[in-house]
């Protein structure tokens, strides 16, 4: 790859590491000494997506990425989070080892991951993908998210803490009274 700054044809690799089924190389131009990064990916066997109307379409990482990006637009997500999500899904799809995958499977994968990444992005994606028929269906989805959130904030396992503490106090009192 030519240097993106001066166009020189040669560079040296100063660092390389494995990332998401590929290799990331940090390079330095032999002419202007600018540093840039290249990614090397393995060309995987072709994978086809079965659309709702049964048509087949070759899997496109870009298309997947565009859909996720749209859902995550202007959300306060760390740099690279969206790309990583697309990378993870792509890797998982190829790991399935199938030649064809229904688009619904991919949509579910995206939803599952967006759910733990960002609720607003999740709702945006779900509203397009699941085609919420009306506001009630959308509200149900949001309500289920809110109740999950509440459970996470107040895990039921913590509820018995108080009685246990009381028991300890009682035990200490008994201990003291024995002295």
Which residues are near Zn ion by CB under 5 A? 3, 5-6, 8, 29, 31-32, 34
Q: Indicate the residue among 32 and 171 with the shorter CB distance to Zn ion.
A: 32
Q: Indicate the residue among 5 and 154 with the shorter CB distance to Zn ion.
A: 5
Q: Indicate the residue among 6 and 128 with the shorter CB distance to Zn ion.
A: 6
What does the block give as tokens for 78?
A: 């760390």
User: DSSP letter string over the chain?
Assistant: ---TTT--S-EEEEEEEEETTEEEEEEEETTT--EEEEEEE--PPP-EEE-TTS-EEE--HHHHHHHHHHHHTT----TTHHHHHHHHHHHHHHHTT-SEEEHHHHHHHHHHHHHHH-HHHHHHHHHHHS---SHHHHHHHHHHHHHHHHHHHS-GGGTTHHHHHHHHHHHHHHHHHH-
Environment class of 82 (CB within 10 Å of its CB; exposed 0-12, middle 13-18, buried 19+)? buried
Smallest distance from the beta carbon of 3 to Zn ion, in angstroms? 3
Q: Indicate the residue among 10 and 151 with the shorter CB distance to Zn ion.
A: 10
Smallest distance from the beta carbon of 32 to Zn ion, in angstroms? 3
Smallest distance from the beta carbon of 82 to Zn ion, in angstroms? 29
Q: Indicate the residue among 36 and 94 with the shorter CB distance to Zn ion.
A: 36
Smallest distance from the beta carbon of 33 to Zn ion, in angstroms? 7
Smallest distance from the beta carbon of 30 to Zn ion, in angstroms? 8
């Amino acid at each position: 790859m030519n240097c993106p700054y001066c166009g020189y044809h040669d560079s040296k690799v100063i660092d390389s590491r494995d990332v998401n089924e590929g290799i990331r190389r940090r390079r330095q131009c032999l002419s202007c000494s600018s540093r840039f990064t290249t990614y090397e990916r393995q060309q995987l066997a072709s994978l086809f997506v079965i659309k709702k109307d049964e048509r087949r379409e070759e899997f496109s990482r870009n298309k997947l990425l565009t859909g996720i990006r749209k859902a995550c637009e202007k959300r306060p997500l760390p740099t690279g989070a969206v790309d990583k999500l697309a990378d993870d899904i792509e890797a998982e799809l190829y790991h399935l080892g199938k030649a064809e995958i229904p688009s619904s499977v991919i949509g579910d994968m995206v939803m599952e991951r967006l759910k733990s990444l960002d609720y607003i992005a999740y709702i945006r994606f779900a509203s397009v993908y699941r085609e919420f028929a009306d506001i009630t269906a959308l509200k149900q989805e949001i309500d289920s998210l809110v109740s999950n959130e509440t459970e996470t904030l107040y895990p039921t396992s913590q509820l018995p803490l108080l009685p246990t503490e009381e028991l300890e106090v009682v035990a200490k009192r008994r201990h003291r009274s024995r002295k």
